[in-house]
């Protein structure tokens, strides 16, 4: 068989093993012999190019191919005399198939040592940072797909750890799908700070949100990205309702979603979300400036200063010298929500803080945030937050 043809045939066979596409043991034995694969391959490593999306952003397909080929050739040269096979399994990933002799902790240490050597040599040869995930050995070559899955999972842990990682599957716990870090409180605060064009505070909230995700044991990166996309969609919608440019918001949304999905490590999410919020705030600011809606900016400040009083829409409209009907209609266009919804949001956010800061009773807190009737306050709080104020306080006291 022609040497080049044999190479392609081997790659196709081994890739099918990794993807569990060959079910017949006889077929595996036959093809293994036909393709002169003498080693009883039982282990898979997965090597990935760190920050591949950032490295290839705005680069031509030819430049991307050159980068991938450079890593592939370096890998082939490194593994040529180590009895390993290298296969390009995706745009930025390579599977390394090999045989390890032992099935114990010693083998894990040897695998980590080998993986470290490969990572260092690839970087030394190409100048490109890479990470590697290490699967366990399996006795049967037909179970290579299991080792491959383990290696992929191990490799994905670099999302939280950063680049240039060597991670063995035994060091990895199953992903959590816990979404407790995404409270409605964070979303409400983001909306308020964005509508107030407070970019610094919005950035602080994003930092806090991602810091919480690091404290959730093995949170699935895809779950985190998906939830951030949901938040992006929500903020874009709120901005659209203020009258911001639809086309520009569409561009911001599309770019943000693309960047989030391609993010290699968690710090990429931080940069992307901060940029998105900053871009949306600029659009809202320019829209308000174009419409000369200083009266509504003044009304927001008035509400934030007087929310603890029994203020009405008419009170605020009179304060900014606008017709109450016009003010009511335009207020929603300006903020993305009705006057009463905005006032309620401000009051409930302040009530949350008071519930956690001291031991004031519900009646006292209700009055501090503008409600004379404690029962009515409790109903509004439950409808907004999902739990009564007493349970909200107890929940956080139990967490401390």
pLDDT at 1 over 80: no
pLDDT at 116 over 80: yes
Between residues 156 and 326, the one the model is more confident about: 156
Tens-place pLDDT, residues 117-160 = 999 999 999 999 999 999 999 988 889 999 999 999 999 999 98
pLDDT at 393 over 90: no
Which residues are registered as beta bridge partners of 95? Answer: 46, 87
Q: How far is CA 394 from CA 355, 360, 376, 385, 399, in A?
A: 9, 13, 20, 14, 9
User: Distance (Å, rounded) from C-alpha 191 to C-alpha 41?
Assistant: 54
Confidence of residue 292 (pLDDT cuts 50, 70, 90): low
Report the pLDDT value the prediction gives residue 378, as an integer from 0 to 100. Answer: 94
Closest CA to 202 of 174, 222, 247, 232: 232
Rounded to the nearest integer, the mean pLDDT of the chain is: 89
pLDDT at 308 over 90: yes
User: Distance (Å, rounded) from C-alpha 232 to C-alpha 323?
Assistant: 34
Tens-place pLDDT, residues 332-390 = 878 888 999 999 999 999 999 998 887 789 999 999 999 999 999 999 999 999 999 98
Report the pLDDT value the prediction gives residue 316, as an integer from 0 to 100. Answer: 94
User: Distance (Å, rounded) from C-alpha 192 to C-alpha 14?
Assistant: 54
Report the pLDDT value the prediction gives residue 332, as an integer from 0 to 100. Answer: 84
At 133, list the tokens: 């995930």
Give CA 360 to chain center in angstroms: 38
Report the pLDDT value the prediction gives residue 249, as an integer from 0 to 100. Answer: 96
Tens-place pLDDT, residues 24-48 = 989 998 999 899 887 789 999 999 9
User: Distance (Å, rounded) from C-alpha 44 to C-alpha 262?
Assistant: 24
User: Distance (Å, rounded) from C-alpha 140 to C-alpha 32?
Assistant: 13
Report the pLDDT value the prediction gives residue 208, as an integer from 0 to 100. Answer: 85
């Amino acid at each position: 068989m022609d040497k080049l043809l044999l190479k392609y045939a081997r790659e196709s066979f081994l890739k099918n093993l990794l993807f569990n596409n060959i079910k017949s043991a006889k077929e595996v034995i036959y093809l293994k012999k036909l393709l002169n694969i003498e080693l009883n391959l039982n282990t898979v490593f997965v090597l990935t190019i760190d920050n591949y999306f950032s490295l290839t952003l705005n680069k031509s397909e030819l430049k991307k191919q050159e980068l991938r080929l450079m890593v592939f050739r370096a890998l082939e040269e490194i593994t040529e005399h180590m009895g390993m096979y290298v296969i390009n399994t995706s745009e930025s990933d390579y599977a390394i198939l090999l045989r390890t002799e032992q099935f114990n902790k010693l083998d894990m240490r040897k695998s980590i040592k080998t993986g470290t050597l490969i990572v260092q040599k690839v970087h030394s040869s190409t100048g490109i940072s890479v990470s590697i995930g290490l699967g366990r050995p399996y006795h049967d070559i037909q179970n290579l797909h299991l080792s491959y899955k383990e290696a992929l999972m191990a490799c994905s842990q670099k999302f939280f750890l950063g680049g240039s990682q060597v991670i063995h599957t035994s060091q990895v716990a199953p992903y959590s799908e816990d979404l407790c870090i995404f409270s409605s409180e964070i979303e409400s605060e983001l909306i308020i700070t964005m509508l107030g064009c407070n970019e610094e505070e919005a950035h602080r909230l994003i930092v806090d949100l991602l810091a919480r995700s690091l404290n959730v044991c093995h949170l699935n990166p895809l779950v985190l990205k998906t939830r951030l996309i949901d938040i992006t969609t929500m903020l874009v919608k709120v901005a659209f309702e203020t009258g911001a440019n639809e086309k520009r918001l569409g561009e911001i949304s599309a770019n943000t979603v693309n960047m989030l999905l391609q993010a290699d490590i968690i710090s990429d999410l931080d940069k992307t979300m901060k940029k998105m919020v900053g871009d949306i705030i600029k659009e809202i600011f320019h829209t308000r400036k174009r419409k000369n809606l200083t009266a509504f900016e003044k009304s927001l400040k008035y509400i934030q200063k007087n929310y603890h009083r029994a203020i009405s829409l008419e009170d605020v409209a009179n304060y900014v010298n606008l017709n109450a009907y016009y003010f009511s209609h335009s207020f929603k266009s300006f903020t993305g929500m009705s006057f009463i919804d905005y006032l309620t949001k401000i009051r409930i956010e302040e009530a949350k803080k008071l519930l956690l800061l001291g031991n004031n009773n519900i009646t006292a807190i209700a009055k501090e945030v503008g409600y004379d009737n404690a029962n009515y306050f409790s109903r509004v709080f439950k409808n907004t937050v999902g739990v009564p104020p007493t349970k909200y306080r107890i929940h956080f006291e139990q967490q401390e």
